[in-house]
Chain A
C-alpha cells in the first residue's frame, strides 16, 4: 500500500531495517513520513524512485548506498541554541562551576556527542567566546562527534544557510561572531577553532578520548531501547571526570538506567557520582572494535592520547 504518495509500507520497512541494522536506531512505522522525507533527496540524487532505492538496499543491505540511507535517517533536526533555557543553565550555573573547579589546571574538555550538523558544538563555542573571556589562554577543547559522516562533513564545513542562522541564534551573536559569504554564514575562526569533529559510534567501544568535563548527549537515547541506553550511558560515563556533568534532551533521563549519574537541580543536567576507570571494550552495543575506526580517519597527531584532528577544518 502506498503511503504519503510515494513510499510503500514494504519499502518503509526495508529502510527502517537498514537504519536499525547499521545505526541501531529503531524507527516505528509511524515515522515513515520522516523516512520518506529524508530519503527523497537520496533517491533523486541517484536518479532512482523510492521503490528502486528500497530494492537497492535490499540487494546490498551493507553496501555504500545502504550506509547512505542509514545516515540520511540519522541526521536530526537541530538549531543553534536549541532549548535556550538549557543554554542559560549552562551559562549561569554549569560552566561557572566547572571553570571554578578547573582554575588550577586551566583546561576544559566538552563533548557534543551527537552533534548532527554542528549547531550544538558551535553554540557551545559561542557561549564560551561571548560570556567567558576568562578562558583566554586556557586549553579549551570542544569535541563534536556523530555517527553520520554526511552530518559531520556539513558541520566541519561550518557553512550555514540563512534559514539555519535565523533559527535560534541570537542576532547579536550572528553579527558579532559570523561572517557572511553571499547567502551563507560561517562562524568566525575564533569560534571554529574551538571545535573539532570526529566520527564516533556511541554504540560501539569508544576510541580514546580525554576525560570530559561536560557532555551533551541530547535526543539520541530516545531512539534506543533500554539496554542500549544503559550501555551508552555507562560508556559515556567512563569518559567523564569524576565531577563531570551530562546534559540530556528534555525527554531523556538517567533515572532507572544508570545509577552512576545523579540529577542536578538544573533540569536536564546530571552529575557523575561514580566515574569508572577506563574500561576496555566499554561500548554499548556489543559490536566490538568498530568505534575506534572513526577517529582513525583524522590526522594522527596525538594530544595526550587523543587522536587529534585539525580544529575548525574539515578533518574527517
Chain B
C-alpha cells in the first residue's frame, strides 16, 4: 500500500516514513504541497497522505483542498500532522477534507491508532 509523507522537514519525513514503512507501507516523500501533487500523480494508488500544515510553496491546507477537488483521489485518506494545536485550525482542516489530525509531538502508537480509526491499520498489521 502506497503512502505519501509530506513535510518540509527532512527529519520529520524520515521519522514518519520510518513509522509507515514499519507498518508495511511503501512510502513516497514530498517536501511541500506542490511537490506532493506531482508525486501523487505518479502514485495514483496511494491510500494515505500524512501532511504537514506549514510548508513553503503550497501549505498543507491548500494541498488538502486541491486533493479534495479532484475526484481521482476520492479514496485517499488525509491526515494532518502539525504543530498547530488550536481547535479552530483543526476544524478548518477537517472542513477542508482532512480525515484525521495528529498534533506534534506524537509517538508511533499515535500514528498507528489514527490509521486504525481510518481502517488503515497498515498492510502488515
Contacts and interface: CB of A to CB of B under 8 A. Distances in A.
A79 B113 CA distance: 10
B85 A162 contact: yes
A162 B82 CA distance: 13
Nearest to B109: A167
Given A174-B90, A175-B90, A175-B94, A166 B116 contact: no
Contact of B117 (A84, A163, A178, A180): A84
A149 B14 CA distance: 41
Given A81-B117, A84-B116, A166 B91 contact: no
Contacts of A166: 102-103, 106, 110
A167 B117 CA distance: 10
Interface string B62-100: 000000000000000000000001110011001000101
Contact of A170 (B85, B87, B91, B117): B117
B107 interface: yes
A163 B90 contact: no
A168 interface: yes
A301 interface: no
Nearest to A168: B113
Contacts of A168: 113, 116-117
A180 B87 contact: yes
Interface residues of B, number: 19
A140 B87 CA distance: 28
Contacts of B101: 171, 174
A2 interface: no
A31 interface: no
Nearest to B110: A166
Given A162-B85, A166-B106, A180-B87, A171 B113 contact: no
Interface string A167-202: 110111011001010000000000000000000000
Interface string B2-25: 000000000000000000000000
A180 B91 CA distance: 13
B100 A170 contact: yes
Contacts of A180: 85-87
Nearest to A83: B116
Contacts of A81: 117
B31 to A, nearest CB: 24
B110 A163 contact: yes
B90 A167 contact: no
Contacts of A170: 100, 117
A172 B85 contact: no
Nearest to B100: A171
Contacts of B86: 180
A44 B33 CA distance: 47
Contacts of A84: 113, 116-117
A171 B109 CA distance: 16
Interface of A: 79, 81, 84, 162-163, 166-168, 170-172, 174-175, 178, 180
11 contacts: A79-B113, A166-B102, A166-B106, A167-B109, A167-B110, A167-B113, A170-B100, A171-B90, A171-B100, A171-B101, A174-B90
Given A79-B109, A166-B103, 6 more contacts: A81-B117, A166-B106, A166-B110, A168-B117, A171-B94, A171-B101
| Chain A to chain B: the 5 pairs with minimum beta-carbon distance, closest first | A171-B101, A168-B113, A166-B110, A175-B91, A175-B90
